[in-house]
Amino acid sequence: MKILGIETSCDETGAGVVETTGNGKITLLANSVVSSLDQHIAYGGVVPEIAARSHIEHINPVIQSALKTAKVSLKEIDAIAVTHGPGLGGSLLVGVITARTIALIHKKPLYKVNHVEAHVSAAFINSLSPGLANDYSLPASQPQFPLIALIASGGHTQLVLFENSSSYLLLGQTQDDAVGEAFDKVARIIGLPYPGGPSIERAAASGDPTKYPLPIARLENPYDFSFSGLKTAVLRTAQQIVGKDYTFPSHQIAERLSDTQRSDLAASFQVAALKALVAKVKAAATHYHATSVVVSGGVAASLALRNLLQQSLSLPVISPDISLCTDNGAMVAANGALLAHSNQAPVDPLTLEIAPNLKMQFHVKEGATAGLRSYRGDIMSF
Ligand code: KG4
Ligand code: ZN
């Protein structure tokens, strides 16, 4: 079965093609992405209208490019999968309308995909078509269940227990900023370019992570996250460093910091943010007897995070190739493959709506599992 996945929830226009076989193997045939990132840099964050306009311009060429790389025509595609939420309304609309149109014209089954689930599905791509062999480094094996997934990006920070590919439990999530968003905001305060994650990681490499001790939030649910206090702590520390009090405007701080102070702040923030992620992954993996850990989303591109996880856990930690961690169509196609395998019904292409606020809720397949149901009581009692 060959599946075309379409992703337009934020600022990446993505189309990917995967092929799946009865034994669950998922082979990547193509992954084309065009990002409008450059157009958002001047604003320090994604501007929804610019992102949506860019999707309109790029969606057809990106799909054509993916089909060409995969050496398939739309006629030879067996199903379409599309992100219908969560994300920016105008952006989601472009992908969903495109997918509905293709499904209707070519009479293909259409699967609706939750973007956050798709990030985890990327870790299940375990084979490459020969043409792509030099472009991706894939995990040696597919993750084993039960698994703990950390999905960390500019829009989401969630910790999820998967009993199998279609039964999962949301253990915790951020109560305020997503972790990637905190990297982006801190970068802006200390004068590093957007997106903040990679520029903070680069600056942190020459900084002292112990120079400025920063707080890690404690929350009632031990699997929830909070990053806005940490971001404010960086702001207060930076104000102090430049000899000012809390009333000093954040946009005037960066120019007064030396390179060393900037690197030390970057390193101190990075270690505090990553330690918070890793501590919760470790606690959940231990409590739920996970056999593997999956880390995905844009923040999973952080080598510092990957290293810290490997050091702290004795389980296999599986991260997709970096280009499959950030938003892309292949992960959506992979999620479509998992949905098809677990016999989920396709949706009606005439009526599929966008779901900008789609949540990752408790989700157990019909008839499934004593295990997760008992965990649910556990979670609900927090
Ligand atoms: O998944 P993604 O491409 O888009 C969203 O769905 O948000 O994630 C982008 C986010 C940005 O906030 C970026 O700063 C963060 O991922 N990021 C990183 C790193 N590389 C990207 N955060 C920390 N360390 C990195 N190396
Ligand atoms: Zn994402």
Choice from 299, 309, 323, 327 to test ligand 1 binding pocket (greatest atom count within 8 A of CB): 299
Distance in Å, CA 25 to ligand 2 centroid: 23
Name the closest-CA residue to atom 18, ligand 1. Answer: 197
pLDDT of residue 165: 80
Q: CB of 330 within 8 A of CB of 80?
A: no
pLDDT of residue 36: 85
pLDDT band at 194 (very low <50, low <70, confident <90, very high): confident
Distance in Å, CA 183 to ligand 1 centroid: 8
Angle between the N-to-C axes of helices 228-241 and 259-287, in degrees from 0 to 180, rounded to the nearest 10: 160
The whole-number average pLDDT for the span 257-263 is: 98
Helical ranges in the chain per DSSP H: 37-40, 48-70, 89-106, 115-121, 179-190, 196-204, 228-241, 259-287, 303-312, 322-325, 329-341, 370-380
pLDDT of residue 363: 53
Distance in Å, CA 87 to ligand 2 centroid: 9
The whole-number average pLDDT for the span 147-175 is: 91
pLDDT band at 368 (very low <50, low <70, confident <90, very high): very low
User: Closest ligand 1 atom, CA of 180?
Assistant: 12
> b/e for 306-337, b at 16 or more Cβ within 10 A?
bebbeeebebbbbbbbeebbbbbbbbbbbbbb
pLDDT of residue 381: 26
* pLDDT tens per residue, range 1-59: 999 999 999 989 999 999 998 788 999 999 999 988 888 877 767 888 899 999 999 99
Name the closest-CA residue to atom 7, ligand 1. Answer: 154
Nearest to 292 by CA among 321, 322, 313, 323: 313
Amino acid at 290: A
Ligand with the closest atom to the CA of 40: 1
Residues in contact with ligand 1 (CB, 6 Å cut-off) = 10, 153-155, 180-181, 183-184, 195-198, 201, 297-299, 301-302, 326-327
Name the closest-CA residue to atom 23, ligand 1. Answer: 197
**pTM of this prediction?**
0.90
Choice from 12, 92, 151, 153 to test ligand 1 binding pocket (greatest atom count within 8 A of CB): 153
